[in-house]
Structure 1
């Protein structure tokens, strides 16, 4: 940014693409790193946290930023791919400064930080946070009316203090367009305190989606900081197999207490999954596949497949069973693949196009057997049927991959490989 160029509010940079001098995209902005200074001097902006391929976070020094323009950040050259590690003297601008309660020096009034602005110093390559956009009124009043104003950094105090009960509404709003896996990546790199505050600000469904993408340690930590009633609500919103995996990490007493607080139907599904060995078809399966009766039509099946909350793997096929429709079902009759549904007239019955030749998996099938089944038949999901012929659930390829990869694959993906020094002083 040339000297004298207009300032940029950091919320506008969240998710913005980062390009190298050749115009190739390097990644996307996930946060900015600043260093607070003594007295009321504006913080120095050290660099940008950039998410690159594989959801790895790296550090891009501001000395390597040649332009911050509308909708893009331009670098000066080669980007260092060493993983980002926050240092004790550093602050994440989006992750730690937004939603803070600070004090107006002139009046002593407490205000909430909604945004901060950065600007490049004249005739230098250094950047500073020079303005703070605040709202008067009580903390957490994001959706309520209240006077907002932009003040100089020196006009407020309180950023250097440890704050308990810091809100997260503005941070959550900044990242609301992120996919669950990307938001999980952001949360993984926050401090435990800030991570708990963000979790508290997310609604149950959003938090459930994010928990499913976090490493086990983060899941257990976040769940442990929720009130029991809310923890049970979040577990109900998770896929039953993911909820079972999370509960299996808890002490028996905590697990039983949360299961008791869950809705009976949801708890029954999770208890059933917990009864199977972890690395078997029963332990891997979800209990909520698409189940249709034999007299359902192709149109009925396609309507179910179109449901927005279904994963692509579960939407790839439907399972035809006699009543009851909930797992464990009546007699399993076979599978109808999505492609077959597209080739048939809407009024055709699913029972007339069902594939009954493919033998389903038993619940005690081992992980290698499940993997071989999916690979041999080019499937993304497979039915799990007990000895009586009832459909118990379906194993999807994403759950199989979770168990084939190393146990710490999420941490490895989030951290990325080690590299050379990042150039910070």
Structure 2
């Protein structure tokens, strides 16, 4: 990269695609790694945290970056695909430096860090942070409107970066990752420090946090839930899929379970208790209590309207269950299933009772995981009804829940393991 390259604000690098010299994309930037230095010396930019297509996060040294231009980063083509692990002397820019409260040295005034700029040193392949974009007044994120003068100052004009985070917000970090899917945001949270993870979780709304919790490893789930106020923890559990919430509750001490259940809506608490009464690796323990249920006199148009609900997972939207009233689980008599593809082939005014599939046997709530997996494999299903001895629909098991319990416990963190340096063309 040519000396004298223009200053780059780090917010412009988040999510930027990383390419090899042949033009093939190898990943996207998820954070920047810097090393704070003693005195007033600006931090050195060591490299980038790049997320590969496999979701593995690796470290890309700045010495391997040949160009940053037009919203893309070009590398030398040689990558070390060992998983990134932060060292004690390193700081993550998005995870640890943005939103921090620091002090303007001259005025002694506290300000909030909104952004940082980096530049390449002349005649060298070294990069460092040179300026800080801050806002005076109350705390708030870089992407949130707030009162207070915003200004750019030299790195040497502020103090407080070397201290442990105190009162650090999460708005800039959240704005940076707001377009991520829940699974990807969960991956971000997993790699943050415990303190920073709690700050980000506290700043998420209940529905978003519920979606993210469902994608996190069990230890992270318990840690985050334990740092929320009990009333909010109960609200987040209510927003989660019932089966995931029940699994999480089941990992807590009995007295804590009861406190949270007592704060939940009676109907939601009843669902939780019912799910927790089954063994973990059975259909009853795996099922969700909120499948699509319709009465026999509902029409195909009614069914398609329910399937269009954007909050439904693809697996739950794949079929509806026709039952006698009551419509909520446990329902009246289960009559059968209507598959989504069949709905698309029928006139909208047709009754769902006229196209119901009665041949497919439902799962027993006590059915164990191997039998459930065999059922899905045999019938090419993505969801299956769970029906009790009385013929009532209790819920539905989806293929993602089956996979979650069949994969190794650490599957979210375990990917192919290549520690040697490789070129991006696989050589």
TM-score range, shorter chain: over 0.9
Alignment-derived partner of residue 60 in structure 2:
60
**TM-score of the aligned structures, taking structure 1 as reference length:** 0.97
Partner of 1:9: 9
Q: Deviations over 1:344-397 (max 9, x none)?
A: 011111111110111100100010111011110000000000011110000000
Q: Superposed, which structure 2 residues align to 1:369-388 within 5 Å?
A: 369-388=371-390
Given that 2:320 and 2:340 are in contact with CA atoms closer than 8 Å, whether structure 1 keeps it comes out as yes
**Structure 1 match to 2:425:** none
Aligned to 1:213: 215
- Compare 42-51 and 249-258 and name the one that shifted more: 249-258
2:146 alignment partner in structure 1: 144
Match of 2:197 in 1: 195
Partner of 2:99: 99
Give the C-alpha shift of residue 262 in structure 1: 1.0
Partner Cα distance (1:12, 1:177) in 2:
15
| Partner residue, 1:408 | 410
* Distance in 2, Cα, partners of 1:51 & 1:249: 31
CA distance in 1, matches of 2:421, 2:84: 10
Does the CA contact (< 8 Å) of 1:165 and 1:197 recur in 2?
A: no
Root-mean-square deviation (Å): 1.3
CA distance in 2: counterparts of 1:66 and 1:243, whole angstroms: 47
Deviates more, 1:103-112 or 1:404-413: 404-413
Please state how far the C-alpha of 1:165 moved relative to its aligned partner.
2.9
Deviation at 1:270, TM superposition (A): 1.0
2: CA distance between counterparts of 1:75 and 1:188?
27
Conserved 8 A contact 2:282-2:366: yes
**Aligned match of 1:319:** 321
Determine helix, strand or coil for the equivalent of 2:129.
strand
Bigger mean CA deviation after superposition, 143-152 or 377-386: 143-152
Alignment of 1:82-231 (within 5 A): 82-140=82-140, 142-231=144-233
Aligned-partner Cα distance in 2 for 1:212–1:243: 8
Q: State the alpha-carbon separation in 2 of the partners of residues 7 and 262 from structure 1.
A: 51
Q: Deviations over 1:101-124 (max 9, x none)?
A: 000011010000011111111211
In 1, are the aligned partners of 2:81 and 2:421 still within 8 Å (CA)? no
- Kept in 1, the 8 Å contact 2:363–2:385? The answer is yes
Q: Which of 388, 391, 407 is the equivalent residue of 2:393? A: 391
Q: SS in structure 1 opposite 2:23? A: coil
CA shift digits 1:103-149 (9 cap, x unpaired): 00110100000111111112111111111111111123743222111
Structure 2 length as normaliser, TM-score? 0.96
**Which range moved further: 157-166 or 235-244?**
157-166
Residue in structure 2 matched with residue 304 of structure 1 by the alignment:
306
What is the CA-CA distance between 1:170 and the residue it aligns to? 0.8
Give runs of ≥4 in structure 1 deviating > 4 Å.
none
Residue 259 of structure 1 and its aligned partner are, at CA, apart by: 1.0
Q: How many residues align?
A: 420
Aligned mates of 1:275, 1:64 — CA distance in 2: 55
Deviation at 1:418?
5.6
